[in-house]
Amino acid sequence: MPLRILGVDPGYGRVGWGIVEKFRGDITYIAHGCIETSPKVSFSQRLSDIFVALEGLISTYSPEVAAIEELFFAKNVTTGIQVAHARGVILLALHQANIPSKTVTPSQVKQSMTGYGRASKRQVQEMVKHCLHLKVIPSPDDAADALAVAFTASPLFFVEK
């Protein structure tokens, strides 16, 4: 039986998500999208909105495992802290749904998708399109990143059913 993997690119304004299935070494695209929160509501409400939306995705797609990208921020510490809060909410939703999760770094994603740990975002997106046999690059960027996270983490979940 296939293993369904949820990939997540954390954020608080936009959370990218992607679902793939792994079966006997093959990885198949299932779905992707973005959870978007309104800047017009409180930060705590935005975190709650992420949690509720992720619960809905989990209910709809029934992933068995998840992968979430590690945070990397070099310029804006305040934004990084807010994204870290969102990442915590995402991890909580996964934990409460009993979904084991793995963390992958941005350089692991780039290395996995392109063979080069400093690849450009565009190169990673092109490889997501190619590796998942899609006609176009998934949009928005956050969703393409989430699919790359799921794809990268798939070897970490080596238990085949």
As annotated, the active-site residues are: 9, 69, 142
Report which residue type is found at 96.
Q
Residue 53: count other Cβ atoms within 10 Å of its Cβ. 18
Q: Which two tokens stand for residue 160?
A: 């085949």
Burial of 60 (0-12, 13-18, 19+ CB in 10 A): exposed
- CB within 8 A of 30, min separation 6: which ones? 4, 19, 20, 21, 61
- Kindly report whether the peptide bond that precedes residue 140 is cis, defined as omega within 30 degrees of 0: yes
